[in-house]
Amino acid sequence: MVDNTTRIKYRPATELVYIDNSDGKGPKDSYNAASMPIYQTATFKQSSSTQMGEYDYSRSGNPTRSHVENHLAKIMSAKRAFAVNSGMTALDVITRLVKAGEEIIAGNDLYGGTNRLLSFLATHNNVKTHHIDTTNSETIIPYLSEKTRLVLLETPTNPLMKIADIPRIAEIVHEQCPNALVVVDNTMMSPYLQRPLELGADIVYHSGTKYLSGHHDLMAGVVAVKDDAIGDKIYFTINATGVGLGPFDCWLLMRGVKTLAVRMDRQQANAIKIADFLQSHKFKVHYPGLKTHPQFELHAKMSSGPGAVLSFETGDVELSEKLVELTRLWGISVSFGCVNSLISMPCRMSHASIPAEVRAARAMPEDLIRLCVGIEDVDDLLEDLYNALTVSGALKLAN
């Protein structure tokens, strides 16, 4: 006999689809709609002038937003999750936890927008960031102090696909700086493949624009926490600044999350074949799904798959530019995570805001090409890529 009052935890692909309201949390729909209604309203009428109901103003809360936030908290193993209007908004909200004079420790291979925000905090808010090689957990130790407030990790990093040991870094930080918080940008993996809160992180965030949405028809960000007190501070900032995600976008985000597993499975399978193809032609490929990746085993311990983003080097900037422009199926675009395959040169596009001398100091190759693999037939993607490699001369150069 099944006890219907007991919360059953299913496998990740099932949890993405299954909506469980048996715990009494979340908004109730009196008509039991299969899809949560879109409460496209700014305000909610009250039955009393002195006693407010659960919702009064959509900046502070909305049933559609509550629905997706409860679901996100479940799939991210979080106490609370919050939906905001972009991934960078998510990071901005998190950095509001840092006071002037305090410090952040971050990796030296970061998304360009993250680097831009951290630079702004240094020049305007007196918040210093130490950039370190997060692939070596011990390198963090000299930078930890009573001033440390956040340790910000990307794993895999964007675009060089480096791996940070989340459990070990979290252990070091919590032992030496109990007031510091370990924050992980998990956008590259999604909750389907990796759940940093289960690995020791305190806060995890996503650009919901990427894999959670999956179709690049939505701008969204997600913040998830495992501590109620931190959650209260995050909510205060979201409410005070009015950056909560709108009802229709919440509905789109919820719809995207339900198909995350089938999309990611296909995209990842395609990416593995493309990485193998490029490596077989002697290109230097950055992808944690390859056994030649220096942290292949570490990544496999933390995640259930390598994801669908990879990068490779041609050895020549002009050749890379030509190659990118010769593809047909691969759209030239920033971002990743949608069903269509994308190609870009990070140093010219997503990471162009990082000064050239800083990119050089961080050993980011100017010729680097990033591939964000979609759900197309992999043979078509390979043929298109092979044609561009051949016509551009990159294939001949690599061999």
* Choice among 59, 116, 284, 348 that is catalytic: 59
Q: Do 86 and 325 touch, CB atoms closer than 8 A?
A: no
Q: Tell me which of 162, 210, 226, 263 is the catalytic residue.
A: 210
CA distance 83 to 273: 34
Q: At 134, list the tokens.
A: 């997060």
Beta-bridge mates of residue 151: 105, 182
- Token pair listed for 69: 């936030």
Positive/negative CA dihedral, 375, 378, 382, 388: negative
* Known catalytic residue at 185: yes
Among the listed residues 39, 55, 111, 287, the single catalytic one is 111
Q: Check residue 394 and report its DSSP letter.
A: H
- How many CB atoms are closer than 10 A to CB 178? 7
Separation of alpha carbons 337 and 213, rounded Å: 8
Encoded tokens for 34: 């299969």
Measuring CA to CA, which residue among 160, 112, 105 is closest to residue 128?
A: 105
Q: Answer yes or no: are the C-beta atoms of 37 and 64 closer than 8 Å.
A: yes
Catalytic residue among 92, 109, 165, 185: 185
Residue keyed to tokens 């940070």: 164
Spatial contact of 330 and 372, defined as CB atoms under 8 Å apart: no
User: Mind telling me the catalytic residues?
Assistant: 59, 111, 185, 210
